[in-house]
A and B are shown apart, each in its own frame.
Chain A
Amino acid sequence: MSRWENWEKPLAFLMWSVLPIVTIFSIFAYLDQGGHYNRVILIGSLGSIAFAIPLLLRFTERLIVPWALIVMIYASLINHLIGDFLMFYTIYPWFDKVSHTLSSITVAIIVFMFLIMVDHYIRSVSIPVKLMPYLVVTTVCLLGVIWEIFEWFAGYMGVEMQFYLEDTVYDLVTNFIGASFAAYVSYRYVLQRGLEHVVLSLEVDDFMERIANGWERMMGAL
């Protein structure tokens, strides 16, 4: 039995228990604010759903989401919920940078997984492993830029999300650092375990075969 398998049950229990806690917490936060602060319950509910997705995928065996990724998704979401509920984003300006770093690490791992699956299952695509870290970093940087553009436009719609120049600059810098770190660690992991082993451990053969067939039909139609 591997090291992870020993930890799997208590870790899963811990993570499932976060779901009702977040939901109850968001309802209390909502009531405490006199029912006016709808955003809290919205984020709490969305958070609960987001928490459930990777675990549901894992336990219904649709996709064996690696524990490292599940932990990172939880860390990012909990960090964001704390920042929002407890107003840490307002009280501590650096807290936002922690959020950006954690989120970019999570997104980078997801992009890495996506690329190795695309490389493995889609016959018309080949992505050498040595290029994957660069492609992951550029993808996460693009997503970071799109997010900043969204915040910028939100400002014109009356929702102030982007405050000052330094804030935007360090958001982008922390995105880049987080993405580079995750891309490097994922790359080393794939080198150590072997690409084939990592893809097969996700146990998505049937599911991905269907996706790959659909993708190739779409490419043929384009």
Chain B
Amino acid sequence: MKRRPEDYAWIFTWILVGFLFFSILLAVSEYRVFFVLMGAFALYLTLYPPIKYRDPSIMPAFELVALLTIPFIIFAIVTILPTTDILTGVRVSEMLAIFAVSLVMMVHLQRYHGLVLDRILLVFFMIAFTSTLGMFHTLGLYFNDQLFGTSYVTSNHILMTDMTLATIGGVILSFILLAYMRRQSLFHLTLPEYQRRDGE
């Protein structure tokens, strides 16, 4: 069978995985607990298919892993070059990480754990995941302040703004996911092996 350029996408996906590893190490050295946890979670979502199927070429779709990596790229740039300020830096990348991880987790649960949802439930749980992750993130920052004397969440207004933004983000994200999944099948999103098989 003649191979298409997209059959090699998994190699680029592995390069992004390498970057995720690097980001986790960077987050550990900077004591950024949020990015360590989110990085570990992103790695789990990315490495689950190749480990499950014992095949390094079976990776999630490149665009999903790229989406997972974007917040970590912003985090790395802001950390390595402290004078750089992409929008408001780390806080924006934290919010993007919440959105990306929620979206990929939704795809992951449907593809690998037997979850089958219709459109209404898909929208609902997408919002629920994003909002819950946003809540954990904000509470994590609050307890970080209490334990280590930082000052991320200093008022109720900041706490509520963060959670409201995460929930609104979840609403927007759910419609993006819905539109995306109408165009692309779950197989396409997660298992290039099946695409090849489909093409044969």
Contact = CB atoms under 8 A, between A and B. Distances in A.
A41 interface: no
B80 interface: no
Contacts of B79: none
A165 B153 contact: yes
Q: How large is the interface on A (under 10, 10 to 19, 20 to 34, 35 or more residues)?
A: 20 to 34
B159 interface: yes
A222 interface: yes
B153 A128 contact: no
Q: How large is the interface on B (under 10, 10 to 19, 20 to 34, 35 or more residues)?
A: 20 to 34
Interface stretch (A77-85, A142-150, A182-190): A142-150
Interface in A149-205: 149, 152, 162, 164-165, 168-169, 172-173
A contact face: mostly helix, strand, loop, or mixed: helix
A149 B156 CA distance: 11
Nearest to A130: B113
Contact of A164 (B156, B164, B167): B156
Interface stretch (A3-11, A59-67, A101-109, A131-139): A131-139
Contacts of B132: 137-138, 141-142, 145
Contact of A172 (B115, B119, B135): B135
Interface string A111-147: 0000000100010111110110001011101101110
Interface stretch (B50-58, B83-91, B122-130): B122-130
B156 A128 contact: no
A219 interface: yes
A7 to B, nearest CB: 36
A145 B156 contact: no
A125 B164 contact: no
Contact of B118 (A122, A131, A139, A168): A122
Contacts of B167: 142, 145-146, 149
Contact of A148 (B120, B142, B153, B160): B160
Contacts of A145: 131-132, 134-135, 163, 167
Contacts of A139: 124-125, 128
A157 to B, nearest CB: 15
Interface of A: 118, 122, 124-128, 130-131, 135, 137-139, 141-142, 144-146, 148-149, 152, 162, 164-165, 168-169, 172-173, 219, 222
Lowest 3 CB-CB distances: which A-B pairs, in order? A126-B116, A142-B128, A141-B132
Given A126-B115, A127-B115, A145-B135, 8 more contacts: A124-B116, A126-B114, A128-B113, A145-B167, A162-B160, A165-B156, A169-B139, A219-B119
